[in-house]
Amino acid sequence: MLAISAFFRNSNYAEAGLWLVIALGLAVFGSRSRIAPRNRWILVVTLVAFGGSDVVEAHTGAWWDPWWLLVWKGVCVAILLAAVVQLVRARRDFSRR
């Protein structure tokens, strides 16, 4: 087992809090954005899940161990990257009009 420092643990908790605040902001104020409601809620759930993975990481000491934590984080990152790609494409298409 890895030795987990207080700084590592606290920074992971802070990062989890950041993702949760962003998710809350998107849930509360997201209706003002151009993001489709279905996609917005997928992002909210993904951000909450990503924050949850940081809480688990604070206890395990590594983002790659256990293996399922790496998969969990990887799925969240893939969804977030897909959302960024979709947003960039939508803005590019909108600016061409």
Q: Which residue has the higher pLDDT, 89 or 1?
A: 89
| Residue 1 clears pLDDT 60, i.e. is over it | no
Q: Does some domain include residue 21? A: yes
d(CA 46, CA 16): 12
Instruction: Specify the 3-state DSSP secondary structure of 24.
Output: helix
Residue 91 structural domain: 6-95
d(CA 32, CA 49): 23
* Tally of domains in the chain: 1
Q: Does some domain include residue 19? A: yes
Q: Does some domain include residue 53? A: yes
Q: Does some domain include residue 72? A: yes
Mean of all residue pLDDT scores within the chain: 92
| Residue 2 clears pLDDT 80, i.e. is over it | no
Q: Does some domain include residue 61? A: yes
Q: Does some domain include residue 1? A: no
Q: Does some domain include residue 59? A: yes
| Residue 89 clears pLDDT 70, i.e. is over it | yes
Share of the chain above pLDDT 70, in %: 97
